[in-house]
Structure 1
Amino acid sequence: MQEVTVKSWGSRLKDAFAGILFGFVLIGVAIYLIFWNERHGFNMAQSLAEVKKTLISVPASPIDNKNNLRVVYLTGLATTTEQLKDSLLDIQLTAIALIRTVEMYQWQEEEKTRTEKQLGGSERTVKTYTYKKIWSENLINSSQFKETTYQNPTTMPAKSQHQMSSHVTLGDFTLPPSLIEKITLTTPVDLSKINVDKLGAQFNKPVKLTNDELYIGQNSQTPQVGDLKISVAAVLPQQVSIIAQQTGTTLQPYQAAAGEEVLLLSPGQESTDSMIKKAQDENRMITWVLRFVTLLMMISGFALLMRPLSVLADVLPFLGTLVGFGTGLIAAVIGFCLWTIFLAIAWFATRPLFALGLLVIVALVIYLFWKSRPEKVDNNADRV
């Protein structure tokens, strides 16, 4: 199915001028995020360095009160006595977490848009809608589809569910929810004892167990819209390694002097050096991702500020394309330059020597480039 709309040159121009305000907002948010990101990345690096320097290794049992409020490293079996129950499947087992995943076979609408500039500045937009069947945990609302012949069920007969134990211990320590949710290594739950006839009667469809997965429908080889797949996984008692602050009989995030909280958990028995290195690598990755995002935001903001120029020139489509390329290039250059300047300013607050050294190198490069330019020939001197 296709949907064709035409926007007049005046409407496009109005939208372009309205976009200027959003451009300024985008630039402002980018500047704020630059400073926040650099400060957060630096403070987290300092906090991890402090933890690495001050932490001590302690046994999980018994608890030594002399270590209260200190940063500790411990490893052992995270376990629980709590029984978690899935009432839909009538499953009950001792686990740190019990996760039921339910997917339903549904129609999904995909939209592809193509725009064409027309003489006089108007713009023709062609939207093509296609439909395909997918497995999804979330209900897809087909009432919003452009093509009404593709219909999904209006409700999910069953939904995914995540249960977490409220009482998990490691030796004599009781783990807080912030640590429990970090234990994520799962094991598939055996569903062979499920009463498939009872479940089939509940859903009014045949139920078959295949590869630790319940299929609710006529035939798993030719699924129909509305069929379900159900699988269950559990986080069972397991070995973990933790870096945290000892607070009484529990463990809490450590508030470092640099201002960031540190709370680390790794599956299995892992050394402190390895855990902190992983946290440092993650911190660097997040910092660089946000740097790239703020650069794109800065360039996009300046592109929005200059968009009215290309729309004005779109009276002649080829001219608008040329102007659009030029303004886009200018926006990229200005955005990159200002992003670099604000990044350097942010570094003065967190890495002053590095920022100063970087600016000195840039200034030196500019000076050498200036000195290497060709000298202008003095014609009057040649005549003498």
Structure 2
Amino acid sequence: MGNKREHVKITSEQKPGFLERLSETSGGMLIGLGTFAFAFYLLFTNEGRALKTARSLDEGLSVVVPLDNIQSILRENDRKLVHLSGALKTSKPLYDPSYGLSIRAVKLKRHVEMYQWVEHEDSKEYEENGEVKKETRYTYNTEWKSELVNSRNFDREIGHKNPSAMAVESFTAVAPDVQVGAYFLSKDLVDKIDNFKQMSLSRLEDPHADVIRSGDYFFHSENPRRPEVGDLRVSFFYAGLSADVPYVGPVDMVTIIARQQGDRLASYQTKSGDVLQILHPGELSVEEVFQKEHAGNSMKTWGLRGAGWLAMFVGISLMTRIFHTLVDWFPVVRDLVNIGLKAFAFCLATSLSLLTISAGWLFYRPLWAILIGLLAAVPIVIARSRVPPKKQQ
């Protein structure tokens, strides 16, 4: 963190009237309706996707052929799903001639950052003399950023101006041919090699007179310890080491499950509907690979379920916001209604989410779908049990 400056700006406007707030709430209801509909789509399709993926993985496990010798290609395995582990191999090193750097790896990434002004905004609203006032505190810091920060959008650009371009660009070089044993990897498999590690630059010389190496960075700066706005620093990362490199590490091992197509490894289309093309770092057995894939599928499924429930909760909250607006003039009533609406949105979102999930399972596992459907009634039953019964006349 470098320099820090700040200033405060206060703006005011008349407190919006009832009709104006009602109009804003109506717009929020339309957004809520769209969010509500999207939640149904997300939850329903997620269940079908999860079950299709699980079945495709089970199908893959039942037909996969382990390859014991990866140095020779067996034609009888052509078009079959195969499993193999081995060291990554590339035909030639990757270079960055601008900095005199090379490495035998699948990918080499040049990461460029510029020292720039960054604006941070913190606002709060309050009422005073019948007006709604907004106090905004703008803070300006100098930071290393890999993206260009457009200072024209700042509240106060004077004294906080950033350059409009970087003299050096970030880029990623990818080896043209990547092999494991005698097999060449498809582009999709190469894309999965993304476990980047930062390169140590301690044994390299300064590439130019105007570039200074400090730590694991090359600085385009007169004084790296006291950078100025517009200065650059460059770091390098590699993924998929394809040769033993002193002071870096041994060659990277990977495990692949894909379709053998001649001397290439490509995607395998399952009868269940999914495409299998799997790559994991390290040497793993067939069972370990499929366990990892099932765990990843389960994590993604629960993540999307949570996102679907949240979208439904937000959608219902926005659609019922109008009741909060109608009683906005009465603080005590407003607070009670707000609590009631949140409880209503929580219960309804939970019930409808469970019903949507059960509908997604109906075609695949009817018994589970019925059980989940029954579970969907629980929040409503709990909510009704808390309502006091009417007194006998």
CA distance in structure 2 between the aligned counterparts of 1:105 and 1:309, rounded to whole angstroms: 49
Aligned positions of 1:144-159 closer than 5 A: 144-148=153-157, 149-159=159-169
Distance 1:314 1:88, change over 3 A: farther
Letter in 2 for 1:60: I
Specify which of 278, 290, 295 is matched with residue 281 of structure 1: 295
Give the C-alpha shift of residue 111 in structure 1: 2.0
Query: Are positions 1:226 and 2:230 aligned together?
Result: yes
Q: 1:294 aligns to what?
A: 308
Two-structure CA RMSD over aligned residues (Å): 3.2
SS of aligned partner of 1:270: coil
CA distance in structure 1 between the aligned counterparts of 2:345 and 2:280, rounded to whole angstroms: 44
Distance 1:41 1:15, change over 3 A: same
Q: 1:18 aligns to what?
A: 27
SS of aligned partner of 2:363: helix
Query: CA-to-partner distance for each residue in 1:221-251, whole Å, 9 max, x for gaps?
Result: 3333222221112332132110111122211
Q: 1:134 aligns to what?
A: 143
CA distance in structure 2 between the aligned counterparts of 1:63 and 1:48, rounded to whole angstroms: 25
Q: 1:60 aligns to what?
A: 70
**Any runs of at least 4 consecutive aligned residues in structure 1 with deviations exceeding 6 A, and if so which?**
117-120, 361-367
CA distance in structure 2 between the aligned counterparts of 1:70 and 1:254, rounded to whole angstroms: 8
Distance 1:346 1:115, change over 3 A: farther
Aligned positions of 1:40-189 closer than 5 A: 40-58=49-67, 59-116=69-126, 124-148=133-157, 149-186=159-196, 188-189=198-199
CA distance in structure 2 between the aligned counterparts of 1:118 and 1:52, rounded to whole angstroms: 68
Query: CA-to-partner distance for each residue in 1:87-146, whole Å, 9 max, x for gaps?
Result: 4324344431111111112222122232446898x7544333222222211111111011
8 Å contact kept, 1:252–1:263: yes
Give the C-alpha shift of residue 191 in structure 1: 4.0
Q: 1:304 aligns to what?
A: 318
SS of aligned partner of 1:350: coil
CA distance in structure 2 between the aligned counterparts of 1:167 and 1:358, rounded to whole angstroms: 50
Query: CA-to-partner distance for each residue in 1:53-92, whole Å, 9 max, x for gaps?
Result: 2111113221111111211101112211134332432434
8 Å contact kept, 2:257–2:277: yes
Q: How much identity, in percent, do the aligned residues show?
A: 30
SS of aligned partner of 2:85: strand
TM-score (norm: length of structure 1): 0.86
Q: 1:203 aligns to what?
A: none
CA distance in structure 2 between the aligned counterparts of 1:166 and 1:117, rounded to whole angstroms: 63
8 Å contact kept, 1:119–1:316: no
Letter in 1 for 2:169: K
Query: Are positions 1:245 and 2:256 aligned together?
Result: no
Return 5+ residue gaps in structure 2 as ranges. 1-7, 243-251
CA distance in structure 2 between the aligned counterparts of 1:362 and 1:30, rounded to whole angstroms: 16
8 Å contact kept, 2:44–2:360: yes
TM-score (norm: length of structure 2): 0.84
Letter in 1 for 2:32: G
